[in-house]
Amino acid sequence: MQERLVELKTEALEKVAQAEDAKALQDVKVQYLGKKGPITEVLRGMGKLPKEERPVIGQMANDVREEISTAIDEKQKKMEEAALEKQLQEETIDVTLPGRPAQTGGPHLLTSLIEEIEDLFIGMGFEIAEGPEVEADYYNFEALNLPKGHPARDMQDSFYITEEILMRTHTSPVQARTMEQHKGKGPVKVICPGKVYRRDTDDATHSHQFTQIEGLLVDKHVRMSDLKGVLNAFAKQMFGEEREIRLRPSFFPFTEPSVEMDISCKMCGGEGCSVCKGTGWIEILGAGMVHPNVLEMAGYDPNEYTGFAFGMGPERIAMLKYGIDDIRHFYTNDVRFLNQFHKA
């Protein structure tokens, strides 16, 4: 009996040592210490033993049971510790690894260009003025010498909200509002950038929404030579000192006289190429002397005050500057396009 117990102990401890996972260990426990296990059997059979042997065998059986049980518990503890250690190893964060670079955004090409233009005019003493994109018909058309019935006011050309309210078709209403606020006194010197809207079918050169920058200077004794001087300074800073400008007669309802400004072509140096379509000149903006009717409606006495105004399209300027062939690139937000223009 004693031999049998020693044998059982050796066998069980060996199996505990060999057990590779919790399941195997549990099996050993059931096999040797369970109700139907060999040790329970020994204890049950004690009745058949001589009386004096019973305590010795009983004690021994209990010791063996205790030893196996302890071995199982220790093995289990070791397994749990090993599992935890493994998990900790796997989940270790190497804080010395360099981080992944964050995806930082940047200003849109049009935003940068508009800010660049704003800065040039701020340098010449202009202020920035902004106004509503949903605008009264009065400020968008009427106050700009575009009376009811004028062809430019066709319902087909603008997004009307009601008969009297529409999405502004240019940023000129901001200037009309700014002049009005001055109540007929003192100089106005503003740059008005912003989004404008026209009813158009989008294609490579048309968009129903685009941007504009307009400028306005109203004061006593403002002359056309002032307009030319300011535009010349702008063109040289924006496109290069070597550029020449020229003014051609044009027409706008809100200016009289009206002009179109071209800059000399850098690609061919004036010889004529595909960029300037053989002319040596590239059209950049429209301008003119503020129409007396516009001054008068805004509260200025046109006999005392004169002014000049100009307007340009940042999309057109960016397309010329970077050789962009489709206006829709500005609005479809493809980062492969936009990232090309991020300054370092």
Task: State the minimum distance, in angstroms, from the CB of residue 287 to ligand 2NL.
Answer: 5
Which residues are bridge partners to 282 per DSSP? 263
Q: Is 277 helix (H, G, I), strand (E, B) or coil?
A: coil
Please tell me the distance from the alpha carbon of residue 242 to that of residue 303, in angstroms, as a whole number: 38
Told to check if 309 binds ligand 2NL by CB under 6 A, we report: yes
Member of 193, 194, 280, 286 binding ligand 2NL (CB under 6 A): 286
Q: How far from 177 is each of 120, 154, 172, 184, 288, CA to CA, in Å?
A: 23, 23, 9, 12, 19
Q: Does residue 280 belong to the site contacting ligand 2NL (CB under 6 A)?
A: no
Q: Which is nearer to ligand 2NL, 212 or 264 (CB)?
A: 212
| String of DSSP letters for 96-127 | TSPPPPP------HHHHHHHHHHHHHHTTT-E
| Minimum separation from the CB atom of position 234 to ligand 2NL (A) | 14
- Considering only residues 141 to 200 of the shown chain, the ones binding ligand 2NL according to CB under 6 A are 172, 175-176
Question: Position of tokens 């078709």?
Answer: 169
**Min. distance of Cβ 178 from ligand 2NL in angstroms?**
8
Q: Are 39 and 61 in contact (CB under 8 A)?
A: yes
- 313 binds ligand 2NL, rule: CB under 6 A: yes
Determine, following the binding rule CB under 6 A, whether residue 216 of this chain makes contact with ligand 2NL.
Answer: yes
Taking CB under 6 A as the criterion, the residue among 38, 193, 280, 288 binding ligand 2NL is 288
How far apart are the C-alpha atoms of 195 and 234, rounded to whole Å?
22
DSSP per residue over 281-326, as a string? EEEEEEEEEEPHHHHHHTT--TTT-EEEEEEE-HHHHHHHHHT---
| Contact string (CB under 6 A) for ligand 2NL, positions 54-83, x = contact | ------------------------------
255 near ligand 2NL, judged by CB under 6 A: yes
Q: Is 252 in the site for ligand 2NL (CB under 6 A)?
A: yes
The distance of closest approach from Cβ of residue 302 to ligand 2NL in the complex, given in angstroms and rounded to an integer, is: 12
Least spacing, CB of residue 269 vs ligand 2NL, in Å: 25
Burial of 75 (0-12, 13-18, 19+ CB in 10 A): buried
Tell me if 290 contacts ligand 2NL by CB under 6 A: yes
**Contact footprint for ligand 2NL (CB under 6 A):** 172, 175-176, 212, 214, 216, 252, 254-255, 285-288, 290, 294, 309-313
